[in-house]
């Protein structure tokens, strides 16, 4: 039965239910909007290459989750779901990350017809060897194109530097060699194993009827609850980097770098949500655009407007990164770690810390204006076992000690990996 929750401070009304087949359904009411969005996500992504079926460890080719996403739009009778949705004036797409595959659409009209199409094609695979062979060529071209992008190269250079065995170090799309091993039979098997309602989240944002959405999901999707294989991400990673420095030569206007460290492995439930918020606050206080460190480095010219930072929890690991264009990557990294050490020693000025918390709260509230962000964050929360809308009160409760403890534990130069992309003239 659908449960209605009112989040008064957020001005949000949310309906939710976990169906008998395990599907987690969330409907976020937006009565003042004409558009609606549906987001159907699978807890299966590019890093989920190894898993146990019973006691047997199965290994699949890199890139297979992304390949499956591409092929899911095919329907029997040579129909294509994307063509059908686009023909209705609907904006539809899909993506595969390291730990999730999601199919979504946004529309003003014909919402329920579009939702029926979405639920049907995602739950009803249709592949042939000929269509798989054709798609292999298309994806191969994508792989070649993205391999020439410096941002892509510097990111995966960092992941290979940080991690020794976790599959997050490998590109989500795989390689030309790995996708050559993918067959229609393998795609059918993986769909059967992972594209089951108990491993999925459906989120709808808009002025739509929650009961009607629930009834449609019950009618179209499989009725049975199916267990999901246990994922395996390789051996336990040490806090030290696998390779402290990676260097690549590409056509770039200025040297590009990305540095980072591993942090605490992924944590489930509200503990994990609080951990992520703490990490975000710590990194903002250290090197956000309003921080003394950022302004000092910017004024000295050792960073420019491309400098940014990020924190990720995925596939059994978590890590933070920072970087951008600079002529002296090692100096920027050294400056960041020295400032982290200084903050741990001296603490954060109270008024500065409170401003950072208020800024974080403001940023999180602005996200509620984005239907896509709501859908994505709700799906992540569903997979990690907490209520997304129940996390907003955490921001004000994070303490200075928690923030400083994050900096003390994880921002240590001996744990850093750095990835650098330079132009030929700089070698």
- Name the residue among 299, 401, 278, 295 with its Cα closest to residue 339: 295
User: What Å distances lie between residue 419 and 278, 331, 425, CA to CA?
Assistant: 25, 14, 18
Phi, psi of 28 (to 5 degrees): -100, 115
Cα–Cα dist 210/204, whole Å: 9
Residue 275 burial (CB count, 10 A)? 19
Question: What's the angle, vertex CA 23, arms to CA 19 and CA 25, rounded to 5?
Answer: 80
Residues 421, 258 contacting (CB under 8 angstroms): no
Q: Quick one: tokens of 224?
A: 């049975």
Q: What count of Cα atoms within 13 Å lies in the side-chain half-sphere of residue 252?
A: 24
User: What Å distances lie between residue 53 and 22, 306, 334, CA to CA?
Assistant: 19, 45, 46
Catalytic residue among 6, 69, 147, 189: 69
Beta-carbon contacts of 45 under 8 Å, excluding residues fewer than 6 positions away, are: 65, 96, 97, 98, 99, 100, 101, 172, 314, 315
Residues 4, 15 contacting (CB under 8 angstroms): yes
- Name the residue among 81, 73, 76 with its Cα closest to residue 117: 81
Strands (E), 211-343: 230-232, 245-249, 256-262, 308-314, 317-325
Could you confirm whether 327 is annotated as catalytic? no
Q: Virtual CA dihedral for 129, 231, 38, 24, nearest 10 degrees? A: 130
User: What Å distances lie between residue 343 and 19, 288, 336, CA to CA?
Assistant: 48, 14, 11
Residues 421, 248 contacting (CB under 8 angstroms): yes
Instruction: Using the structure block, give the residue that is written with the tokens 């984005």.
Output: 370
Q: Quick one: tokens of 407?
A: 């900096």
In eight-state DSSP terms, residue 277 is: H
- Name the residue among 96, 95, 163 with its Cα closest to residue 321: 163
Cα–Cα dist 305/314, whole Å: 27
Report the SS3 class of residue 117: helix
Q: Quick one: tokens of 271?
A: 């503990």
- Name the residue among 263, 276, 252, 405 with its Cα closest to residue 329: 252
Catalytic machinery residues: 69
């Amino acid at each position: 039965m659908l449960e209605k929750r009112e989040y008064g401070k957020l001005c949000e009304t949310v309906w939710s239910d976990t169906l008998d087949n395990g599907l987690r359904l969330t409907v976020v009411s937006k009565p003042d909007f004409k558009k609606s969005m549906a987001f159907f996500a699978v807890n299966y992504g590019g890093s989920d290459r190894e898993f146990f079926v019973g006691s047997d460890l199965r290994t699949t080719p890199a890139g297979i989750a992304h390949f499956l996403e591409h092929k899911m739009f095919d329907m029997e009778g040579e129909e294509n779901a994307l063509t059908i949705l686009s023909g209705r004036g609907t904006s539809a797409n899909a993506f595969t990350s390291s730990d999730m595959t999601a199919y979504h659409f946004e529309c003003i009209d014909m919402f329920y017809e579009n939702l029926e199409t979405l639920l049907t094609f995602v739950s009803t695979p249709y592949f042939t060897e000929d269509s798989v062979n054709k798609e292999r060529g298309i994806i191969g071209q994508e792989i070649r194109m993205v391999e020439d992008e410096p941002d892509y190269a510097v990111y995966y250079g960092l992941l290979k530097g940080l991690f020794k065995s976790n599959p997050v170090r490998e590109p989500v799309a795989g390689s030309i060699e790995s996708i050559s091993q993918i067959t229609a039979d393998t795609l059918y098997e993986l769909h059967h194993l992972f594209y089951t309602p108990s491993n999925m989240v459906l989120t709808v944002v808009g002025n739509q009827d929650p009961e009607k959405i629930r009834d449609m999901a019950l009618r179209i999707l499989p009725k049975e609850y199916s267990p999901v294989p246990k994922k395996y991400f390789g051996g336990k990673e040490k806090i030290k980097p696998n390779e402290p420095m990676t260097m690549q030569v590409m056509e770039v206007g200025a040297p590009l770098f990305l540095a980072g460290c591993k942090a605490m492995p992924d944590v489930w439930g509200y503990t994990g949500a609080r951990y992520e918020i703490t990490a975000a606050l710590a990194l903002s206080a250290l090197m956000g655009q309003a921080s003394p460190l950022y302004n000092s480095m910017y004024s000295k010219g050792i960073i420019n407007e491309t400098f940014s930072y990020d924190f990720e929890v995925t596939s059994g690991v978590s890590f933070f990164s920072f970087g951008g264009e600079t002529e002296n990557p090692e100096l920027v990294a050294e400056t960041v770690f020295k400032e982290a050490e200084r903050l741990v020693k001296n603490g954060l000025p109270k008024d500065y810390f409170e401003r950072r918390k208020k800024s974080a709260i403001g940023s999180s509230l602005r996200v509620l204006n984005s239907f896509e962000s709501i859908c994505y964050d709700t799906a992540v929360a569903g997979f990690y076992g907490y209520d997304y809308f129940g996390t907003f009160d955490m921001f004000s409760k994070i303490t200075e000690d928690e923030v400083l403890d994050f900096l003390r534990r994880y921002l240590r130069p001996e744990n850093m990996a750095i990835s650098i992309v330079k132009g030929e003239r700089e070698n």
